[in-house]
């Protein structure tokens, strides 16, 4: 097959998957779905009221032709920073692929649909778990930065163990689709196309889980993945006028 034929096929399949994303990437907004997700988190981790674990992950790409500097992350490479929420079974329930690699996680959250969803009428009955890159909110629980009591230490341990499900979800997603991981090389596409690829891969990831296509991710590989992801954390939020990358 020619390169042009392969390229056309990739974009056609990606577009089709993105068009059907709402059918497979569903945030728990109905009471029944909320109870299901909270029940799974409780059964698996013993943490009550959890509707999802939230975090961001980077996908490396070539330097864009416009606003290239804002795509440079802490490692000095170009990337987009993508917000994801998953449930206790590593199913992706929310994706927001809209910002360049220099953007802080908390800024992405503030400009996503998540705050409005939790603060709607009626508000959702539960909360998300996030790391210390986020500010504490009534619907977003984060660890104590300096725990001082046994209760705070116990909470941090439970929080960390439960929140790790999002790191496992990222690991599984990038193991299934190596183009999303830096070990697979740099994607030679625009930020908009890379964002679409990520959403399409999330759809396929959820379909795989739905049909029982499980993958093992041992702790050594997960720890290596965590270390790589931690290196890309942005320590300070960027200014609110950071250009958007892709949707």
* pLDDT > 70: percent of the chain: 86
- C-alpha span between 203 and 198 (Å, rounded): 9
Q: How much is the pTM?
A: 0.86
Going by the DSSP 8-state scheme, the letter that residue 198 receives in this structure is: H
Cα 81 from chain centroid (whole Å): 9
Sign of the Cα pseudo-torsion (129, 132, 134, 138, in order): positive
Task: Say how many CA atoms lie within 13 Å of 99 toward its Cβ.
Answer: 28
Q: How confident is the model at residue 236 (pLDDT cuts 50, 70, 90)?
A: very low
| Residue 243: predicted pLDDT | 38
**For 83-128, what is each residue's pLDDT tens digit?**
999 999 999 999 999 999 999 999 999 999 999 999 888 889 999 9
Nearest in space to 25 (alpha carbons), one of 222, 195, 204, 177: 204
**For 123-135, what is each residue's pLDDT tens digit?**
899 999 999 999 9
**For 202-213, what is each residue's pLDDT tens digit?**
999 999 999 988
Question: 231 pLDDT exceeds 80?
Answer: no
């Amino acid at each position: 097959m020619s390169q042009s034929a392969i390229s056309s096929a990739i974009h056609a399949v990606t577009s089709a998957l993105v068009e059907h994303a709402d059918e497979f990437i569903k945030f728990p907004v109905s009471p029944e779905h909320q109870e299901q997700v909270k029940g799974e988190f409780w059964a698996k981790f013993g943490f009550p009221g959890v509707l999802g674990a939230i975090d961001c992950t980077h996908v490396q790409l070539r330097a864009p032709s416009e606003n290239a500097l804002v795509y440079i992350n802490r490692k000095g490479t170009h990337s987009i920073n993508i917000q994801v929420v998953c449930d206790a079974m590593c199913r992706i329930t929310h994706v927001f692929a809209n910002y360049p690699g220099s953007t802080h996680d908390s800024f992405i959250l503030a400009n996503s649909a998540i705050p409005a969803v939790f603060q709607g009428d009626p508000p959702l009955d539960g909360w998300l778990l996030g790391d210390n890159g986020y500010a504490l909110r009534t619907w977003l629980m984060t660890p104590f930065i300096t725990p001082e009591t046994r209760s705070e230490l116990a909470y941090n341990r439970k929080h960390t163990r439960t929140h790790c499900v999002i790191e496992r979800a990222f690991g599984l997603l990038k193991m299934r689709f190596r183009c999303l991981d830096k070990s697979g090389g740099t994607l030679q596409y625009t930020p908009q196309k890379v964002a679409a690829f990520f959403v399409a891969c999330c759809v396929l990831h959820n379909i795989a889980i739905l049909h029982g296509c499980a993958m093992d991710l041992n702790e050594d590989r997960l720890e290596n993945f965590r270390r790589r992801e931690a290196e890309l954390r942005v320590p300070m939020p960027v200014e609110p006028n950071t250009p958007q990358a892709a949707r």
